[in-house]
Amino acid sequence: MTVDVGLVLVAHSAPMAQGTADLARQMAPDVVIRCAAGDEDGGLGTSLDRVQDALADALGTVDGVVVLADLGSAALVVEAAFELDPALARRARLVSAPFVEGAVAAAVTAQQGAAPDAVAESAEAAVHSIGPSPVLELVESSADDSPAPAGTHASGETVQAPGAPTSGAADEATATAQIRNKLGLHARPAALLARSVADLGVPVTVDGADASSVLALMSLGTVAGQRVTVAARGTDAAGAVDVVVGMIEGGFGEE
Amino acid sequence: MTLDAAWAERWMRRSAADMHAAREELTELDRRIGDGDHGVNMDRGFAAVASRLDDEAVPPRETVAQVLRLVATTLMSTVGGASGPLYGTAFLHAARVTNRADLDGAGVVALVEAAAEGITSRGRAVPGDKTMVDAWAPAVEAAERAADGGDAVEVLRAAAAAAADGAAATVPMIATKGRASYLGPRSAGTEDPGARSTAMLLAAAVAAAGAD
């Protein structure tokens, strides 16, 4: 799988940007993440030069970049950089997203090989992961827009539509699994599960939510001990369900 | 008085001196309703502008636009916070309409309009938000009125006077943009530091024309 979209984190505080990048990399090890944080003297603030350098550096490696900014003035600096160099604006886009949640969501989506649009949308939808009642409809509709999981660029890995003529018959499978994690399918297990499902290349749902979407999984609000229904359709649906049930029941290596 | 490239350079050197002198005043305003760095940022930015104007390695400027473009890129790189991109964009857009040896009344109107348009397009603030737009918007209106029969310096003087009044009028306003907006009603009672520095900047333009 090729990761074509990188992130640039523009923040007033270098430790904050670095910490956010660390958090995002934990779930998305292959995504290029560059920070442009702090002013010229290393104090709190933003710097146009640092933003330009980070954008140029990231775009030297990947085709497209999604930019997150921490406060209004950081966003203004990014827009000024785009105005000074319109070529940058064609390959980079600033999203209106919460800094930490947006960076994590964008990185995980980029890790799955998604296009810039989908990475940007996942960052913007991440605002719904904060607060007492996630807006499930919005999260789901944005998940619907994301590209087919993993590997659609390689013919051998293309997602099978149900009933498509293949060597193994396309089929459906359903099973239940019990959530083991104390905090349910929170960010880390959701990211691990979403990544694995994307790699499987078979559409899988958990209680109806797209299991390749971190946000959709987190929005289920699952709790320890809850039973969920895992369903898949496509080639080796049963194998995919087994993998997902195994991961959920395995507790993702947590207590 | 001709408003040419030499005037634009005097304007910027004068601004650098004024920002340095007002460093504490601007910082104190910003400490009350912002992050307390506006005076430091403006002083640093305009000092950098002055030193670039003195730099033998930088080609001499023949048009107002060339001066303003140099100011724009220098401010964007050296002024932290929102002011760097905002003032940088203002001068960048002003440079687009001042590509000539000297400015007449209509030329000054175009400069002020383009600068104000740069600020609003970047910051998306409107009059009444308690931002520098509250100084720039009345400056544009006053410049347009003065251009009817007024010469370049009269237009400039009208714009500067209106900006000063506009800045003073931000005192009772409640901020709805930027970090001051998080203070809500507590932002009332303090002049907006960006509106204040805008008024200072336009006053320096008048002083540089020898008409203060």
Q: What is the percentage of chain A residues whose pLDDT exceeds 90?
A: 51
Rg (CA), chain A: 19
Which residue from B80, B88, B89 is facing A45, i.e. has the nearest CB? B80
B73: chain A residues, CB-CB within 8 Å:
84
- Nearest CA distance, B129 vs chain A (angstrom): 15
Which residue in chain A is spatially nearest to B119 when comparing CA positions? A76
- Say if residue A192's pLDDT is above 90: no
pLDDT, tens digit, for every residue of A59-97?
999 999 999 999 888 999 999 999 999 998 899 999 999
Residue among A37, A113, A51 nearest A88 (CA): A51
- CATH 3.30.1340.10 placement within chain A: 155-253
Hey, is the C-beta of A96 within 8 angstroms of any chain B C-beta?
no
A43 or B31: which leads in pLDDT: B31
* Residues A230 and A248 sit within 8 Å (Cβ to Cβ): yes
Question: Is A5-145 assigned to CATH 3.40.50.300?
Answer: no
Which residue from A49, A73, A84 is facing B82, i.e. has the nearest CB? A73
Confidence bin at A146 (pLDDT 50/70/90): very low
- Nearest CA distance, A10 vs chain B (angstrom): 12
* Residues B98 and B65 sit within 8 Å (Cβ to Cβ): yes
* Residues A176 and A90 sit within 8 Å (Cβ to Cβ): no
How deeply is B210 buried, as exposed, middle or buried, from its count of CB atoms within 10 A (0-12, 13-18, 19+)? Answer: exposed
Q: Which two tokens stand for residue B209?
A: 């024309």
Q: Does ipTM top 0.85?
A: no
- Nearest CA distance, B131 vs chain A (angstrom): 13
Count CB neighbours of A165 within 10 A.
8
Residue type (1 letter), B151 = D
Q: What SS3 class is residue B102? A: strand
Q: What is the pLDDT of residue A1?
A: 60
Hey, is the C-beta of A45 within 8 angstroms of any chain B C-beta?
yes
Show Cβ contacts of residue A247 under 8 Å, excluding neighbours closer than 6 positions. Answer: A192, A193, A196
What is the Cα–Cα distance from A219 to A208, expressed in whole angstroms? 11
Which DSSP string do the residues of chain A spell out, in sequence order? ----EEEEEEES-HHHHHHHHHHHHHH-TTS-EEEEES-TTSSSS--HHHHHHHHHHHHTTSSEEEEEESSHHHHHHHHHHHHH-HHHHHHEEE----HHHHHHHHHHHHHTT--HHHHHHHHHHGGGGSSSS--HHHHHHHHHHSPPSS-TTSGGGPPPPTT---SSPEEEEEEEEE--STT-S-HHHHHHHHHHHHHHTS-EEETTEETT-HHHHHHT---TT-EEEEEEEEETHHHHHHHHHHHHHHGGG--
Which residue from A76, A83, A84 is facing B123, i.e. has the nearest CB? A76
Which residue from B37, B73, B85 is facing A77, i.e. has the nearest CB? B85
A48: chain B residues, CB-CB within 8 Å:
76-77, 84-85, 88
Residue among A53, A56, A42, A57 nearest A12 (CA): A42
Mean of all residue pLDDT scores within chain B: 94
Return the residue matching tokens 């998940």: A143
Point out the least confidently predicted range of A19-28, A160-169, B58-67. Answer: A160-169
**Helical (H) or strand (E) element with B3:** strand B3-4
Which residue in chain B is spatially nearest to A49 when comparing CA positions? B77
- Say if residue A132's pLDDT is above 80: no
A71: chain B residues, CB-CB within 8 Å:
179
Which residue in chain A is spatially nearest to B69 when comparing CA positions? A84
Report the topology of domain B3-208: 1.25.40
* Residues A153 and A99 sit within 8 Å (Cβ to Cβ): no
**Mean pLDDT value across residues A130-138:** 46
Residue among B191, B132, B184 nearest B163 (CA): B132
- CATH 3.40.50.510 placement within chain A: 5-145
A5-11 and A64-69 as β-strands: parallel, antiparallel, unpaired? parallel
Alpha-helical (H) ranges within B55-176 are: 64-78, 83-96, 105-123, 133-146, 152-168
pLDDT, tens digit, for every residue of B176-186?
988 889 899 99
Hey, is the C-beta of A140 within 8 angstroms of any chain B C-beta?
no
- Nearest CA distance, B212 vs chain A (angstrom): 33
Which residue in chain B is spatially nearest to A78 when comparing CA positions? B85
Query: To 10 degrees, the CA torsion angle through B20, B25, B28, B34?
Result: -70
Which residue in chain A is spatially nearest to B34 when comparing CA positions? A73
B81: chain A residues, CB-CB within 8 Å:
45-46, 73
- Say if residue A176's pLDDT is above 80: yes
- Residues of A catalogued as catalytic: 12
Q: Where are the domains of chain B?
A: 3-208
How deeply is A225 buried, as exposed, middle or buried, from its count of CB atoms within 10 A (0-12, 13-18, 19+)? Answer: exposed
Q: Which two tokens stand for residue A142?
A: 């944005």
Q: Which two tokens stand for residue A221?
A: 């609000």
- Say if residue A143's pLDDT is above 70: no
CB contact under 8 Å between A76 and B73, yes or no, is no
Which residue in chain B is spatially nearest to A73 when comparing CA positions? B82
Q: What is the pLDDT of residue A183?
A: 79
Chosen from A41, A51, A76, A79 to mutate, greatest number of chain B CBs within 10 A: A76
- Say if residue A46's pLDDT is above 70: yes
Q: What is the pLDDT of residue A168?
A: 46
A92-94 and A209-210 as β-strands: parallel, antiparallel, unpaired? unpaired
Hey, is the C-beta of A53 within 8 angstroms of any chain B C-beta?
no
Maximum Cα interatomic distance, chain A, rounded to a whole number of Å: 63
CB contact under 8 Å between B81 and A73, yes or no, is yes
Confidence bin at B61 (pLDDT 50/70/90): very high
CB contact under 8 Å between B76 and A84, yes or no, is yes
Residue among B64, B79, B73 nearest B26 (CA): B79
Query: Among the CATH numbers 2.40.50.100, 1.20.20.10, 3.40.50.300, 3.30.1340.10, which is that of A155-253?
Result: 3.30.1340.10
**Mean pLDDT value across residues A101-124:** 93
Residue among B206, B207, B210, B198 nearest B87 (CA): B198
CB contact under 8 Å between B179 and A71, yes or no, is yes
Maximum Cα interatomic distance, chain B, rounded to a whole number of Å: 49
- Nearest CA distance, A141 vs chain B (angstrom): 29
What's CA A78's distance to the chain center, in Å? 22
Q: What is the pLDDT of residue A217?
A: 87
- Say if residue A163's pLDDT is above 90: no
Q: What is the DSSP letter of B103?
A: E
Q: What is the pLDDT of residue A164?
A: 39
Q: What SS3 class is residue B4? A: strand
